[in-house]
Structure 1
């Protein structure tokens, strides 16, 4: 059967990769130790020019040069010096390595700058995630005056001040056509729930702000960083568990901490009206005369029949608290023009003093597996709307724990029988909007940003170039089975020399007759110390053991030559890491990158899971 790699699986793998740098910190448990963490090193290699060639089936000869480097993923096209592209060839020409710190790694997502006039996807639990997170061409839209087709852009954006937002509603018409976004989102609301719509009808959920430090390391023309602050294993625990309490281990005082802490799992924040119906009954700003228990009386009632207000909702605010109750039955007093409502549940308060006003509308019945929601339907007041049609849903309390929900707009006996409204609740992602930005925005890319500053205290050459970048996981120190943990590693061999008849320079290959033509490639030379750093060593055919007790390896005290140059090989020391240990998990071949003593390379690797 075919393999199916889902978006969730890709995000899971990316999270596992991120966690391996600091398992103890991300686990959040007192029993975790730093020994669980992985040591990952970024290494550079290969100073000699690319060589070799291949002819693809039915194709023409391709010769590898420094402007046409071989693809390490193409096993049909190895170069002569990366035969089969095995890890052994990478160890042979490895120059130096630098440990990747946890702060050098971040989930990243494609960069989508908010742009006025674009049409954006909105989050919808019934739509495939990959569609909401990519450009979709030739989609049905509404320009504001006419139907049209246009590109629908991903559901999240970064604004001009590096704040990231997720679109919860794209002002789509009843026919499902999104309208253009013309107002840049700028609010930094950190409370739960959907914020108010902007003037263009769009609803944007503020997710996080990219800090200046994060921008320098992880923002490029194509990518922006994304992260989840809470422990990866914290779902199902309290909102402040796993270091998320105020002042806790994970509280970095950012807006995102508050957003994650405030997120509500299964809350009903967004509703899509696909048909606004007609002939429902709405009344606004009606003065309440009295209210206690399950009885509420208001003045100037608009409906006069018995039970005319049954299946309605009554909504008011009193003492700073909002109340929404369903009307079970009602009576009308023609002498006072008052309606007495019998409520399905008690008010829980007796209204006294200055009386509030209330709004009446049809009752929105929710059928689902959550609870606690308090919703109010409002009338459609646009000039072309049908009388008594539904214009919006006011969320007084979004409730929680919904994984499925449908809405039915109740029929009021006192209203005319008209067209039914169709309104769909949108179920938020697990944990609620803002709980896990990595999962919600599709963070299955990882960026590693490592800087090679000058010589990195002597570990890296500044006199030569390199053509390979790779990642090495959990190497051992040379000469044993102990994990290598230092920040840097010089992996070239250090060879002392004497009695040279010419000046020794880098980028030469020497050979030694005594070892049966063992060879080495000179990376750079320290003339003051009479030492050279050497890579790409190969053993010769001699049965005599050399410096490392292996037959054919370089022998100290014996002459080596390169053209007219000759010198005597002195003491030989291996690089800092044990050759062949650990795992090489990434290789990238490049055109030559020259190094210098006043130069810093800012290396960014993008890994897609």
Structure 2
């Protein structure tokens, strides 16, 4: 039994994702992570490995996560393929019958949404190509020479070059959407086409489903009555009604041109009725191709018409002195999207605009302002007899004494691939750092400059430490500390990680900002 998943299901999935991601009952976040990619692969930067999709790997994504940024309704848009108008390019034309056995011309696309039948111009106006100059002498169309710039509601030529193109204006991309959602290969479509007053004129212009706009000539025929004659009111037969064409016969008694005079309505198929229109069939009958518009007409539903089965998720990662969750000085080599993560020590969805996924220690002691820690190196605390907490250093701030770290299962009994180690240095338990070690333990933390201690007086359960004042200046720490210990602001291993992208590592600096654009293809 043969079956297919249609493009309309993909478009529906994209629509449903946008609805879910922008709903107030859900919380979607982008995240960055993996500060130590070369521990996973020495050639990571030259050839980042493909992410793995397993529950075990999902745990690793959580372990190496650094920080999250909330995705808002203004950060999500459906997008379509981007074809920037360029003079001399032959574009496809809209045809609803493109398939494996009837490919688009000239691209050879085997379905409509793979064809290049719409463009964006230099002013970010979007047009659909209804006629690309196709005729018996140019069966694959002709190069486009005139850039469309008009905003008229009815289709027309873009200039006077005679390239044969007919364009239909659809919409103009908003400046705010250009900044967030325009990319090399994709461009955004309006998020509110069905209801927006800004798009009402184009939408309402498609008032009749099955209203014809274009008929092309496949064969000009021969010996068609009197030369240089124009026939008007030639009806188009089919399952619709009211469409009429105007046919011009040239000096050679062949069809020179055919244009729609009345579009009619309700057509899902049609043919030019020469006999009823009083047009002689000639010694060789002309052949025409009636182009059927999409459901509702051109511009009624741009998501269906342009194939909006992709979603772009945008996040701006920038440094914030009042909420420094996105660390500087270390690498990030992974980005992703997570659905409905929960707040730390809670069953409710995370709602913070930004959240740290790291643990933190507030350190004190002589030399903490000059102490250094090897990034991605190990930091340890003896928490009891024979028990050692161990983590990997992500960042250390010499001004505030805040060390941020994550706990790596490969430092205890398990390798990065999940296999057991033989006689691991720190045993098989991943102990938590603590302000209250048991007998035989201490609050001391070793650094490259000597031993520091956890500041157990910094923050209480009722009044957690969120900032510190040094030389009359307030420094915000980005996390809440109790007795010098901070947990992540997100509950690890909660929610669903739905997208992961491994990338060459970049090192974040204090004046750096990243615009992250994630394309989800359905």
TM-score (norm 1): 0.67
Q: Pick the aligned partner of 2:258 from 393, 402, 407.
A: 393
Residue of structure 2 in register with 1:380 after alignment: 249
1:256-311 CA distances to partner (integer Å, 9 max, x unpaired)? 44212221321111112223335556799xxxxxxxxxxxxxxxxxxxxxxxxxxx
* CA distance 1:124–1:567, change in 2 (3 Å): same
Is 2:175 the counterpart of 1:212?
Answer: yes
Aligned equivalent of 1:429, options 270, 283, 294: 294
- Within 5 Å, give how 1:499-510 maps onto structure 2: 499=365, 503-505=371-373, 507=375, 508-510=377-379
Contact 1:463–1:595, Cα closer than 8 Å, also in 2: yes
* 1:178 alignment partner, one of 122, 140, 163: 140
Name the residue aligned to 1:9.
9
Match of 1:364 among 216, 234, 239: 234
CA deviation vs aligned residue, 1:110-145 (integer Å, no higher than 9, x gap): 3322222222211112222995499449xxxxxxxx
Residue by residue, what CA displacement relative to the aligned partner does 1:231-260 show, whole Å, maximum 9, x if unpaired?
A: 4xxxxxxxxxxxx3xxxxx22x3xx44212
Q: What corresponds to 2:341 in structure 1?
A: 475
Residue 556 (1) aligns with residue 441 (2): no
Per the alignment, residue 495 of structure 1 pairs with 361
Q: Indicate whether 1:122 and 2:93 are aligned.
A: yes
| Deviation of 1:47 (Å) | 1.6
Structure 2 CA distance for partners of 1:283 and 1:229, relative to 1, 3 Å: farther
1:595 aligns with 2:463: no
Question: Are positions 1:453 and 2:318 aligned together?
Answer: yes
Cα distance, 1:229 vs. partner?
Answer: 2.9
Give the corresponding residue for 1:271: 215
The residue aligned with 1:354 is: none
CA RMSD of aligned residues (A): 3.4
- Contact 1:369–1:403 (Cα < 8 Å) also in 2: yes
Cα-to-partner distance string for 1:141-173 (whole Å, 9 max, x where unaligned): xxxxxxxxxxx9721222232222211111212
SS in 2 for 1:99: strand
Q: Secondary structure at the match of 2:187?
A: strand
How far, CA to CA, are the matches of 1:470 and 1:458 in structure 2? 20
Q: Secondary structure at the match of 1:188?
A: coil
Distance 1:553 1:228 in 2: 46
Contact kept? 2:333, 2:502, Cα under 8 Å: yes
The structural deviation recorded for 1:17 is 1.9
**1:324 — aligned with what?**
none
Rate the CA distance shift 1:378–1:367 in 2: closer, same or farther, 3 A.
closer
What CA deviation, in whole Å up to 9, does each residue of 1:395-434 have, x standing for no partner?
3331222222233211678968643332222111122112
Structure 1 residues 225 and 412, CA gap change in structure 2 (3 angstroms): closer
- 1:227-238 alignment runs, 5 A limit: 227=190, 229-231=192-194
Residue in 1 that maps onto 2:18: 18
* Aligned ranges 1:87-236 → 2 under 5 Å: 87-128=58-99, 131-132=103-104, 135-136=107-108, 154-174=116-136, 177-191=139-153, 193-196=154-157, 198=159, 199-227=162-190, 229-231=192-194
**TM-score computed with the length of structure 2 as normaliser:** 0.78
SS at match of 2:38: coil
Match of 1:319 in 2: none
Alpha-carbon shift at residue 458 of structure 1 (Å):
1.9
Q: Which runs of 5+ in 1 are unaligned?
A: 24-33, 54-62, 76-83, 138-151, 232-243, 245-249, 285-358, 542-549
Correspondence for 2:468: none
State how far apart, in whole Å, the 2-side matches of 1:183 and 1:418 are.
36
In the superposition, relative to structure 1, how do residues 412 and 591 fare at CA in structure 2: closer, same or farther (>3 Å)?
Answer: closer
* Greater Rg by CA: 1
> Which ranges in structure 2 are unaligned for 5 or more consecutive residues?
414-428, 437-441, 457-482
Cα separation, 1, equivalents of 2:232 and 2:201: 35
Please state if 1:535 is matched with 2:406. yes
